[in-house]
A and B are shown apart, each in its own frame.
Chain A
Amino acid sequence: MTLSYLLRRIGYGLLLMLGVVILNFFLIRLAPGDPAVVIAGEMGGATEEMLESIREEYGLNKPIFTQLWIYVSGIATGNLGESFFFNQPVSKLIGLRIWPTILLVITAQILSISIGVFMGVIAARKPNGILSGIVSIFATIGYAVPVFWTGIMLIILFASVIPIFPVEGMQSVKLRDAGFVVKTLDIAHHLVLPAFTLAIIYLAQYARLSRASMLEVLGSDYIRTARAKGASEVSVLFKHALRNAALPILTVAGLQFGNLISGALLVETVFNWPGMGRLAFDSILRRDYPTILGVLFFASAMVVVANIITDISYRWADPRLRRKS
């Protein structure tokens, strides 16, 4: 892994994000509705004078390219603007909510990859076996069911039938002042249902994908060589085969990360998880341009980071992709 490669990747990532910011900026302004009207509505009345002063205050009456310039140069100095609705800096709003989202998304990603790949590997061992059939059926169901429905079903199950997991929020009110360990466990406890809800769709995809990928690898000559050395079945599957079957899984994991973030928006709404998803939802309803753009900015930053990590893992998984030094 060369440093120059990493720097180049980060450079591309920054360029990509600039493109995303500019595109988002225009897309949002293409949507019908005048934020000044919405803000004025919140305040109770709407004379033309008032609308004009609101536009003046938020810079909405400036030419659009000037607005873009102000916005982009603001980002360069870490200023994402002021929320129309919350009357707070967007960076502060997001700073409060980004960590719950990152926690949720990464937990879901880890759950879906580890469980999904494990299921796929087990299914590939006996492609015509019962276990393989169960995995395929589960994968199809998991793929077909919408995430909010899974969430609602889990809420019904765990709110009334077997109430062992909290179905709402991230922390128990009465444990707010507890010690670090208790608080961490409390958050983990609250995390179970939203993380699983979000993980299920992707888990199903990873199971199918790794089953197919493993089946291909298990037929290859070097697997026979590993067996001929006397390697155990576990070693053949999880060491010799999985490392080779990992490439398509990594590709999809990188691509799915963006979907995972948009899935998190729904899951956060269903489970009242205090993350960016709900902030996005609220700010879209209120035409809160700076907040929407800020959320999108951070979401795209997460996707760019995830793609860089994917690229690095590629090179770890397949030495053929490493440049000769």
Chain B
Amino acid sequence: MSPLLEINDLAVTFATRHGEVTALDSVSLHVNEGETLGIVGESGCGKSITALSVMGLIPQPHGRIRAGSIKLAGEEFVGATPARLRQMRGAEAAMIFQEPMTSLNPVFTVGDQIAEAITLHQNTSRDRAFKDAIALLDRVGIPEPDKRARDYPHQLSGGMRQRMMIAMAVSCRPKLLIADEPTTALDVTVQAQIFDLLNEIQRDFGAAILLITHDMGAIAEMADRVSVMYAGRVIETATADQVLDTPQHPYARGLIDCIPALGKSETGLKEIPGVVPPLHMLGAGCAFAQRCDHAQARCLREKPKLINHGHHPAACHGVEEARL
């Protein structure tokens, strides 16, 4: 079975005052139909840019796709016409954003915003679309949907707004749903509800989900497979269980060690020392080498490739040489 979304050697650069900066460097990943792929990493590692690339929404005019390929259901979208991209957005791939507070237009009603997504892609009347919007609001668990549809975003709570975003995203039954940190801005109790809803939606609508998060808990709950990103590269990829149980890359291991757990509290919260190097200061070697306890001369010289060294693919010289 060929994957629904296939990204190969994607490179995205941004023009900045430090010159051209590489935000994504030969990123390859795939999402199969109906599965959930989690992309994990710290802020600035390229997770969101990967998602925006798929949607053809890389911030203009500074960003551009330098190389690589993005195939959705077998169709190449790098270099697609703006008209084709517009057609695809919302209909074949839809996105749920991180901030439900600011991601909804404050001057249009909730129902109108969902109905707009429907009328953009389906040949239907506005009234019909509005009725569909109400049904979708009901589906995502918003009480009194016909009343709420006439509300404006500021009249809804954060959790409600995120439900509304989900309703809008699934309104045209896309095959791929991209959720960019869908719960980061929400209360913990609401987070669990949103994950449950996403799981339900996936089951009912059969959509694949690309879940972007820095929350390992979310990965454990949602993802079938995981790609770990660091400084614009995928450094490890495997099933969620494999990554959580036997992480290979020192960074992935660090991330998992950082998950606070009940009963382990006597050691305090763990952290990975140091920070992600600024993208314009990446050298020739492994981007993690500065923060890695196991770094050797080769790590500073040569970028490791994402290769399976026995267990599952990881981009680390140490794993390759079986030092770790």
8 new A-B contacts, CB < 8 A, other than A226-B105, A230-B120, are A128-B61, A227-B57, A228-B55, A228-B57, A230-B86, A230-B87, A319-B152, A319-B154
Q: A318 — which chain B residues lie within 8 A by C-beta?
A: 106-107
With A224-B57, A243-B107, A317-B107 as known contacts, state yes or no: A229 contacts B90, CB within 8 Å.
yes
Binds A, one of B73-81, B91-99, B196-204, B223-231: B91-99
Size bracket of the B interface: 20 to 34
Please give the distance in Å from B47's CB to the nearest CB on chain A: 16
Are A228 and B106 in contact (CB-based, < 8 A)? no
With A229-B90, A319-B154, A320-B152 as known contacts, state yes or no: A221 contacts B107, CB within 8 Å.
no
Q: Is A278 among interface residues, defined by CB-CB distance under 8 A? A: no
- Give Cα distance in the complex from A320 to B102, angstroms: 14
Q: A190 — which chain B residues lie within 8 A by C-beta?
A: none
- Give a binary string over B56-70; 1 marks a CB under 8 Å from any A CB, 0 the rest: 010001000000000
Q: A244 — which chain B residues lie within 8 A by C-beta?
A: 105-107
Q: Is B117 among interface residues, defined by CB-CB distance under 8 A? A: yes
Q: Is A77 among interface residues, defined by CB-CB distance under 8 A? A: no
A-B residue pairs, 10 tightest by C-beta: A230-B90, A230-B89, A221-B102, A229-B90, A222-B105, A221-B103, A319-B152, A229-B117, A228-B95, A243-B107
Q: Is A192 among interface residues, defined by CB-CB distance under 8 A? A: no
Q: Is A231 among interface residues, defined by CB-CB distance under 8 A? A: yes
- Please report the number of residue pairs spanning A and B whose Cβ atoms sit closer than 8 angstroms: 71
By secondary structure, the A interface counts as helix
CB contacts under 8 Å to B, within A73-132, are: 126, 128
Q: B138 — which chain A residues lie within 8 A by C-beta?
A: none
User: Which partner residue on chain B sits nearest A322 by CB separation?
Assistant: B152
Q: Is B71 among interface residues, defined by CB-CB distance under 8 A? A: no
Q: B168 — which chain A residues lie within 8 A by C-beta?
A: 229
Q: B99 — which chain A residues lie within 8 A by C-beta?
A: 221
- Give Cα distance in the complex from A220 to B104, angstroms: 10
Please give the distance in Å from B245's CB to the nearest CB on chain A: 35
A-B contact pairs, 7 of them (CB 8 A): A224-B57, A229-B89, A229-B120, A230-B89, A230-B91, A230-B120, A230-B121
- Give Cα distance in the complex from A231 to B55, angstroms: 13
Q: Is B116 among interface residues, defined by CB-CB distance under 8 A? A: yes
Q: A231 — which chain B residues lie within 8 A by C-beta?
A: 86, 116, 120
Please give the distance in Å from A150's CB to the nearest CB on chain B: 35
- Give Cα distance in the complex from A240 to B108, angstroms: 9
With A221-B97, A229-B117 as known contacts, state yes or no: A319 contacts B86, CB within 8 Å.
no
Q: Which of B57, B107, B120, B121 contacts A319 (CB 8 A)?
A: B107
Please give the distance in Å from B151's CB to the nearest CB on chain A: 9
- Give Cα distance in the complex from A227 to B168, angstroms: 13
Q: B55 — which chain A residues lie within 8 A by C-beta?
A: 228
Q: Is B190 among interface residues, defined by CB-CB distance under 8 A? A: no
- Give a binary string over A301-325; 1 marks a CB under 8 Å from any B CB, 0 the rest: 0000000000000000111100010
Q: Is A232 among interface residues, defined by CB-CB distance under 8 A? A: yes
Q: Is B186 among interface residues, defined by CB-CB distance under 8 A? A: no
- Give Cα distance in the complex from A228 to B56, angstroms: 9
Q: Is A225 among interface residues, defined by CB-CB distance under 8 A? A: yes
With A228-B57, A229-B117 as known contacts, state yes or no: A319 contacts B97, CB within 8 Å.
no
Q: A225 — which chain B residues lie within 8 A by C-beta?
A: 95, 97, 103-105, 165
Q: Is B292 among interface residues, defined by CB-CB distance under 8 A? A: no
Q: Is B88 among interface residues, defined by CB-CB distance under 8 A? A: yes
Please give the distance in Å from A313's CB to the nearest CB on chain B: 12
User: Which partner residue on chain B sits nearest A223 by CB separation?
Assistant: B105
- Give a binary string over B173-213; 1 marks a CB under 8 Å from any A CB, 0 the rest: 00000000000000000000000000000000000000000
Q: B116 — which chain A residues lie within 8 A by C-beta?
A: 229, 231
- Give Cα distance in the complex from A324 to B150, angstroms: 13
User: Which partner residue on chain B sits nearest A319 by CB separation?
Assistant: B152
- Give Cα distance in the complex from A317 to B105, angstroms: 12
Q: A233 — which chain B residues lie within 8 A by C-beta?
A: 82
User: Which partner residue on chain A sits nearest B121 by CB separation?
Assistant: A230
**Candidate in B86, B152, B168 with the most chain A CB atoms within 10 angstroms:** B86
- Give Cα distance in the complex from A228 to B55, angstroms: 7
Q: A227 — which chain B residues lie within 8 A by C-beta?
A: 57, 89
- Give a binary string over B103-129; 1 marks a CB under 8 Å from any A CB, 0 the rest: 111111100000011001100000000
Q: B91 — which chain A residues lie within 8 A by C-beta?
A: 230
- Give Cα distance in the complex from A54 to B77, angstroms: 88
Q: A230 — which chain B residues lie within 8 A by C-beta?
A: 86-91, 117, 120-121
User: Which partner residue on chain B sits nearest A231 by CB separation?
Assistant: B120
Please give the distance in Å from B158's CB to the nearest CB on chain A: 14
- Give Cα distance in the complex from A320 to B90, angstroms: 27
- Give a binary string over B159-177; 1 marks a CB under 8 Å from any A CB, 0 the rest: 0000001001000000000
Are B95 and A222 in contact (CB-based, < 8 A)? no
Are B86 and A240 in contact (CB-based, < 8 A)? no
User: Which partner residue on chain B sits nearest A247 by CB separation?
Assistant: B107
Are A222 and B106 in contact (CB-based, < 8 A)? yes
CB contacts under 8 Å to A, within B21-70, are: 55, 57, 61
Are A228 and B90 in contact (CB-based, < 8 A)? yes
Q: A226 — which chain B residues lie within 8 A by C-beta?
A: 105
Q: B117 — which chain A residues lie within 8 A by C-beta?
A: 229-230
Q: B57 — which chain A residues lie within 8 A by C-beta?
A: 224, 227-228
User: Which partner residue on chain B sits nearest A224 by CB separation?
Assistant: B57
User: Which partner residue on chain B sits nearest A222 by CB separation?
Assistant: B105
Are B90 and A224 in contact (CB-based, < 8 A)? no
Please give the distance in Å from A316's CB to the nearest CB on chain B: 9
- Give Cα distance in the complex from A221 to B106, angstroms: 11
Are B104 and A228 in contact (CB-based, < 8 A)? no
Q: A243 — which chain B residues lie within 8 A by C-beta?
A: 105, 107-108
